[in-house]
Every structure is written in C-alpha cells, then in structure tokens.
Structure 1
Amino acid sequence: MLNGRKYRLDLTLGQAEFAERIGGACRSVWNTALEQRRIHRRRGGWIGYHEQARQLVEAKGEFEWLAEVPGHCLQQTLIDLDQACARHGTWKVRWKSRVRNAPSFRFPEGGKITVERLNRRWARAKLPKLGWVRLRLTRPLGGKIKNATVGRDGGHWYISFLVEDGLAPPERHANPGSGVGIDRGVVKVVTRSDGIFHHRVFARDREVEHAKKLQRDLARTRKGAQRRKRAAARVADLARKVRRRRQDFAAKTAHALAAGFELVVFEALATKNMTAGVEPRPDHERPGAFLPNGAASKSGLNRSILDK
C-alpha cells in the first residue's frame, strides 16, 4: 500500500533561498500554462501536456531562471495542471498566488532520492540540485520512496514522502459485521452510537483572547509596512497551531473509526446552510428601523459550528 510520511526539514539559508526559487518557477509555469490553455479554449482550440512540455524545454533554453531549477519539478507541475483541468475544467482551476499559496514542488522520481539516517533524531535526504538536506526523523520511512514533495508552511520547510510499504490490504475487515453511527455536534465533536465521545479543544480560551488581540494589533498597522507583515505573521502562526491540532484530531479519529468498524454511518450536515446569516427584520411602525432578530447569538453559534 502507499503511505505518506511527512518530516520537518532543517535547510541552510542557501537551500531555503533555492527552494523559494524552485517554488516560484513552478508557480510561474502553472500560471503560464493555465493562461495558455484558456487562450486556446477562447479561440476554439486545445493544447495538452505533451505540447506544453515541449515548449517548456524550449523556454528553459531561453530563460536561465527556468534552467537552474530541477526540470522534473517543472514537468510535474504541468502534469498536475493537466490532471486538474481534466478533473475540474480549465475555467475552474485557480491561479497560484505568491501571497496566498506557499511554495511547493514535487520530485516525481523516488529512485533518485537517497535517505540516510544520521542518529536517533536526524536523517538526511539527497534531492536533485538541492543536495543533502537534513530532516527531523520523527518516524521510520518504512518503505520504498515513490516521490517526494517539498513545501513551506509558515517559516518552516517540510518534506512529504510517498512510500510503498509492501503490505497488501486485508480481504476482510478485522471486525466483520461491525458498525457505528456518528453524530457531529458542538459540545462534543464526535459522538458514537455506542456512547463513546471523541473530543478535543482546538483553541483554548486564552488563545482565543490572544488571537483577538493579535487581530486588533494587525488592524492598527498600515498596509505595506514591515510592522504589518510581522503582525500578520503572528496571527498566521497562532492560526496554524490551531489548524494542526484539528488535522491531528481528524486523522486520529478517522483511523480509530476505520480500524474499529467495518461500517461507519454519519449525518451529512449542510454546514453552509447551518451557518447562514440571519436576515434583518424591518420595523414597519418605524421606517428605516429594524427589529432584534438574534443575529448576535446566531453569529456565536456559527463560529462554534465552524470551529468543530
């Protein structure tokens, strides 16, 4: 079976700068190729991966900043774009922004990646053109590397390996015939039909108040100023911490349910409809005035639902 392994990288300053350039080149190739596809569609034509890959080879001969980055990362970007356009359509695929999208690129050939263990906590991996990079070995690889994806999350770089562990999925579940019903709520995140709860507080009260303070500090800064960038980074760091807790809880809970039960049934909640705003009610006796409609309490309920 294929499994993912994610580790935190310890890049040198030169490696981090080069990784930023690789991510920027991949983003430029994605946006240029997407615009090229849309131009052909407007003219009633079509262009695919093979033609764009051929033109990419010619562009690498003209632009040095394209030639210095690993070519397989650029080709993989075109492959990902081709799959996204086939799945969602050319007009629904989004652009990649330097501000909103963190740099990320993939090395598709796992045979060219070498991983060596240094000690109990650290290892190093040899990546094309990046050379040897140190990574925090929090768990064994446990298989043959198929590909590797390098990306930045905040101020840190991470590498994700797709490995083949050599294990075959079982023909039957470990608990055949078992089933459980799942109720999702606000007080408890997950309530099982057998009376067991799965719950975790993603943001503590102190962190919620601190987040409000950071948001106020950000609102007082001037756009484009260095002080605003530092304030935005502090807000993003706290939000990133809460997001990782939520991802960790979701992964562990999903694993426990899938390993314990053959059938899992849960309610398909229309979260978008449940968190819709309340329309104001006009006061017909007083033109231009509105009656109280509980918008404040509904707003608090919406925040609780979206948090869980």
Structure 2
Amino acid sequence: MSRFRMYPTPAQAEQMLLHCAHARYVWNLAVEQHAHWKPGRKSAPGFAEQCRQLTEARRENEWLAAGNADVQQQALNDFAKAKSSRFTSGFGEPTWRKKYKHEGFRVIGTDRVPEYEPDGRAKLNHKTGKQVLGRSVVVHQLNRRWAQVKVPGCGWVRFGLSARGKGAQLPAVKTFRVTCRNGQWHAAFAVIPRVDSRARHGRDHRN
C-alpha cells in the first residue's frame, strides 16, 4: 500500500468531507441492515440489492443525491468485502463508523484501459466478442515533487510525490482510498499509480 499526502484547496477539502459523510452514512445503513438479521428472518440484502436500494434512496434524499453515486457504491462494495472476509481478516463483523474518527472514501478510476487474461491474451466480453475495458486511475505528474489525481466533484487534487514514485511509468490501479486524520488528507493506492507523462507540465490542479 502506497500512501501520499494530499493538499486540497479549501473548497476541495469541503467537498471531500461531504464524500466522507456520504460514505459513512451508506456504510452505517449496511451495518444496520445486517445487525437487524436474526435466525429465521429473511437474509440481509447483498451488494446488488443494496445498490438498488441506494438508487431509490438517492431519488428520495436530496442530501444523498447531492453526492457522488460511485463514492457511495464503493462504500457498499467495501462493506460487502469486509463482510465476506470477517472470519479471515481478523477484524470480525463490520462495525459502525463515526464522524471525525472514520473520515474516508474510495474513488473508482474514470479512465478505461484494455484488460488482459493472466496468460497475456486480451480479455473478451463473451456476449460481444470485444475486448473488456476496465477502470483505471491515472495520475498526472506536474513536476518532480508534485502530482495530481482526479477526485469526484473536486477536479484534480494535488499530492506530494515520494522519491520512489518520481517520474516512473507505474502499474495502473482501479481504485484508491482518500482519508483524513488530524486535518491531513492522504491518498492510498494498492500499488503506486502510473504517471501520465503527457501531462507533466502546465496543468492546473483546480481543473
């Protein structure tokens, strides 16, 4: 896991705090649904059903609808993964998330890149026969010290580059996690994101 210090503008930080609130709200609703389950009752909804319910909730709740649907769905996806790995992760059942203590959300990449099978063959859609395009996070390097990544509703948000990440063409990732603790923002990638060298100079991080 590679973690980088983010430096959002005040307006960007305000929007990211709203994303945190939405993600926490959706996560806690999922916890409540599963906590309500008892033997003999209908099983708690899974990820697909919760996404359908989220779509309905966004139509009825202006505050939720003002947020980003992908950020909210990723909170449900994180919950589903935590639920399925509760016996092996060492964390047990997913629990409530609290304001100020659990400030974070996951962002899914907006770029589309071709996907491949483990043996190097193009990954094809069985119905259409076309190559599958997966989501990818792209980082634009501004100079040797700075890069930027796009966050929903915020545009490009700057972060500082470590010596390890400077100037390299690196593997793509599908998502990254944004967190805030003690007033500091960080972006965490499963691997260091690839840098798009076509956009090294002259980019405004507020686009």
Do the structures match in fold with TM over 0.5? yes
Aligned residue number for residue 69 of structure 2: 71
From the superposition, tell whether residues 123 and 78 of structure 1 become closer, same or farther in structure 2 (CA, over 3 Å): same
Q: Can you list the C-alpha shifts for 1:56-114, whole angstroms capped at 9, x where unaligned?
A: 0011111122222221221111122122222327x832111114x23111113363533
Aligned residue number for residue 145 of structure 2: 121
From the superposition, tell whether residues 132 and 39 of structure 1 become closer, same or farther in structure 2 (CA, over 3 Å): same
Aligned residue number for residue 98 of structure 1: 99
For residues 86 and 102 of structure 1, the distance between their equivalents in structure 2, rounded to whole angstroms, comes to 21
For residues 94 and 193 of structure 2, the distance between their equivalents in structure 1, rounded to whole angstroms, comes to 33
For residues 12 and 63 of structure 2, the distance between their equivalents in structure 1, rounded to whole angstroms, comes to 16
SS of structure 1 residue aligned to 2:94: coil
The offset of 1:165, in angstroms, is: 8.4
Matched, 1:60 2:58: yes
SS of structure 2 residue aligned to 1:144: coil
How many correspondences in the alignment?
161
SS of structure 1 residue aligned to 2:186: strand
4+ residue runs of structure 1 moved beyond 4 angstroms?
none
The runs of 5 or more residues in structure 2 that have no matched partner are 112-135, 195-207
The structure with the largest helix share of the pair is 1
Is 2:108–2:137's contact at 8 Å kept on the other side of the alignment? no
Is 1:31–1:95's contact at 8 Å kept on the other side of the alignment? yes
Matched, 1:21 2:18: yes
For residues 165 and 158 of structure 1, the distance between their equivalents in structure 2, rounded to whole angstroms, comes to 14
Is 1:110–1:148's contact at 8 Å kept on the other side of the alignment? no
For residues 97 and 156 of structure 2, the distance between their equivalents in structure 1, rounded to whole angstroms, comes to 28
The runs of 5 or more residues in structure 1 that have no matched partner are 167-308
Larger radius of gyration: 1
Amino acid in the other structure paired with 1:77: A
The offset of 1:119, in angstroms, is: 1.4
From the superposition, tell whether residues 115 and 98 of structure 1 become closer, same or farther in structure 2 (CA, over 3 Å): same
Q: Normalization by structure 1: what TM-score?
A: 0.48
Aligned residue number for residue 33 of structure 1: 30
Amino acid in the other structure paired with 1:137: L
Alignment map for 1:292-307 (pairs within 5 Å): none
Is 2:139–2:193's contact at 8 Å kept on the other side of the alignment? no
